[in-house]
Amino acid sequence: MKIIHTSDWHIGKVINERSLLDDQADVLTAWISQVAEMGPDLVIIAGDLYDRSLPNRESVHLCNQLLTQMSEEIACPICIISGNHDSGERIDYASAILEKEGLYLEGMVKKEIRRVCLEEADVYLLPYSDYGQIQKLYPDQTIRSMADALAVQIQTIKAGDWRPDRLNLLVFHGYVTNVDLDEAGADLEHTESERPLSMGNSAYVPADLFEDFDYVALGHLHGRQFVKNQHIYYSGSPLKYSKSEARQRKVFLEVDLTKEDLTVTPHPIQPKYDLRQVKGTFEDLMADQSDDYLYVELTDAQPVHEAMARLRQVYPHIMALTYSALEVDQPQSETGYQAQQKEALDQVFADFYEDQTGQVLTAYQEQVVKQIMAEAQGRGEEAGDQ
């Protein structure tokens, strides 16, 4: 069985006030044609189809074009789940109609887990959700983390028409770790463009929960990496979406799978413009030129007059400019990290609110948020004492 695995398209992504919509259209249109020529038996997009839960009309238009092209050119089932950036309701929209065209979209977490039955495989779709939502679906279960939630969901899958003699695949969007949950995430490559799913380690799930699946297609992390034995894999995003991804090699995965064997082959994705970091003196950099998206680090001892405007003449897509020689390291006290942890939850919500609405919290709203968080923490401590 040949499977194509991709994820984290983030249609509508904007970096430093620069829209990547045209870049996404070029890369993904070419990708669909390439995949069609490979003749797969299944295509998987493991979440974060959009970059925002309320995408603008241009993003929705491009997504519609891409899904239409996929259904017309790729002669196999296509499974898509929602990620933490998506609106589950939007991904679910018209899914029953699209299923007739071979597009299986699962946006909302449900008690009855979606199974796509293929000729030789069963594909289970687990869209993004927090453990609180899953707890509401299973009120008789004790669920205090994503590890608890996923264990219940997999138990539900196994209690159904589970066929160990068939190929069993799972599509999931979130953090999967192969180390103890006390050190969760230490084995994973993170980037700054991945929105945190929660505070602490409650969002991480252990890889051992997936041991009975033949392949687990993951989304959320933007760098290609496997978690355990290469049957649990992040495909990564098709484009670079932050400075921290500059050195990543973007790919999609071709998975050749049987009950006895698994081969994962990465195929490079080449955008029209790369995203890179460059470093040097102003004079040296002005002697070169590039249309790539560049994060420039000047080593000059003094600021250069109108450096950004002048560099833009040879680097029209320059994203940001810093001076390494002028950066000052700030000492951090021993309690600095603890203080950051204490304040982080408030800040995460404030950042999320600003990201979704384009507005900052008012002083009154900040106070309401703190009050709600304090009450929630109190209820959690009471539940833990029971």
pLDDT digit string, tens, across residues 102-150: 999 999 999 999 999 999 999 999 999 999 999 999 999 999 999 999 9
- pLDDT classification of 373: cutoffs 50, 70, 90: confident
Domain locations in the chain?
Answer: 2-268, 275-323, 345-382
User: Is the per-residue pLDDT at 209 higher than 90?
Assistant: yes
User: Is the per-residue pLDDT at 378 higher than 70?
Assistant: no
* pTM as predicted: 0.82
Q: Compute the mean pLDDT over every residue in the chain, rounded to the nearest whole number.
A: 88
What is the CATH architecture of 2-268?
Answer: 4-Layer Sandwich (3.60)
User: Is the per-residue pLDDT at 294 higher than 70?
Assistant: yes
What does the pLDDT average to over 21-44? 98
| Spatial separation of the C-alpha atoms in residues 215 and 172, rounded to whole Å | 11
**Could you give the 3-state DSSP secondary structure of residue 12?**
coil
User: Is the per-residue pLDDT at 80 higher than 90?
Assistant: yes
| Spatial separation of the C-alpha atoms in residues 149 and 135, rounded to whole Å | 7
> Each residue of 268-288: pLDDT tens digit?
999 999 999 999 999 999 999
What does the pLDDT average to over 74-95? 93
- pLDDT classification of 376: cutoffs 50, 70, 90: confident
Other Cβ atoms less than 10 A from the Cβ of 208: the count is: 8
Q: Beta-strand (E) ranges in the chain?
A: 2-6, 14-15, 18-19, 42-46, 78-81, 103-106, 114-117, 121-126, 167-173, 175-177, 204-206, 215-219, 225-228, 232-234, 251-257, 262-268, 275-280, 293-298, 318-323
pLDDT at residue 213, as a whole number: 97
Choose between 3 and 386: higher pLDDT.
3
pLDDT at residue 228, as a whole number: 82
- pLDDT classification of 7: cutoffs 50, 70, 90: very high
